[in-house]
Amino acid sequence: MFIHWALREIHLKLVYYGPGLGGKTANLKYIYSKIDPALKGDLVMLNSREDRTIFFDFLQLEVGQIDGKKPKFNLYTVPGQVHYNHTRKVVLNGVDGIVFVADSQREMMDANLDTLLDLEKQLVMQGKTLEEFPWVIQYNKRDLPSAMPIDEMEKKLNLYGVPFFEAVATGGQGVFSSLKAIIKQVVANVHSQLGQAERMRA
């Protein structure tokens, strides 16, 4: 979280995290295509020639008000490919909320698990834990024939019973429900942090 007191703006960082090709960039593309231009910035995508994210995607949204301040949600995706570990760490720095985009295809379950463990490790390095941090799970690619049943995926991935959503990110199904749910969690969290920040400033 970053507070610009003069402009009365709060910047909050949401990161889409998950295995390579799981559909993180597809989420941002869909959100970008549906949001009123007055409430969004440009969609910045840093891709390889094969359309894989090599650094991050970025989109800024303005959403309502928190305690008289304008919240700006900065949405990022990380590169899912295993060898971009350092980049994920950089993008994740200062994160306020996470949408974990899992790939529902059965053959991707190991990659989902490895990526979730990797996420937990990165959070611990920032002094946070998955148990206490705002995050939601999006089970993406529900349209594919090898999609695992949700309750099986839940048992493997949803260790802390966080909100979860079924999605087909390319068609938009589940994209806004996931986004709204993470915003809700982050806003609830911010209220308590804001109180502390105001007191430290006084």
Q: Which residues pair with 40 in a beta bridge?
A: 61
Q: Please give the Cα distance from 38 to 76 (Å, whole number).
A: 19
Which of Mg ion, ligand GTP, none does residue 60 bind to, with CB < 5 to 8 Å depending on kind? none
Strand 70-77 and strand 53-62: the pairing is antiparallel
One-letter amino acid at 117 equals: L
Q: According to the binding rule CB under 5 A, does residue 138 interact with Mg ion?
A: no
Nearer to ligand GTP, 69 or 106 (CB): 106
CB 135 within 8 A of CB 163: no
Q: Please give the Cα distance from 54 to 98 (Å, whole number).
A: 19
Q: According to the binding rule CB under 6 A, does residue 185 interact with ligand GTP?
A: no
Both tokens of residue 43?
Answer: 């969609």
For Mg ion, the binding residue among 27, 53, 105, 138 (CB under 5 A) is 53
Instruction: Give me the residue label for tokens 């390889």.
Output: 48
Nearest alpha carbon to residue 119 among 94, 88, 155, 74: 88
One-letter amino acid at 82 equals: V
Q: Please give the Cα distance from 104 to 115 (Å, whole number).
A: 14
Q: According to the binding rule CB under 6 A, does residue 89 interact with ligand GTP?
A: no
Which of ligand GTP, Mg ion, none does residue 109 bind to, with CB < 5 to 8 Å depending on kind? none
Q: According to the binding rule CB under 6 A, does residue 75 interact with ligand GTP?
A: no
Nearer to Mg ion, 36 or 50 (CB): 50
Q: According to the binding rule CB under 6 A, does residue 198 interact with ligand GTP?
A: no
Site string for ligand GTP, 111-150 (x = CB under 6 A): -----------------------------xx-xx------
Residues 2-61 that bind ligand GTP (CB under 6 A): 18, 20-26, 51-53
**For binding to ligand GTP (CB under 6 A), which residues are involved?**
18, 20-26, 51-53, 77, 79-81, 140-141, 143-144, 168-170
**For binding to Mg ion (CB under 5 A), which residues are involved?**
24-25, 53
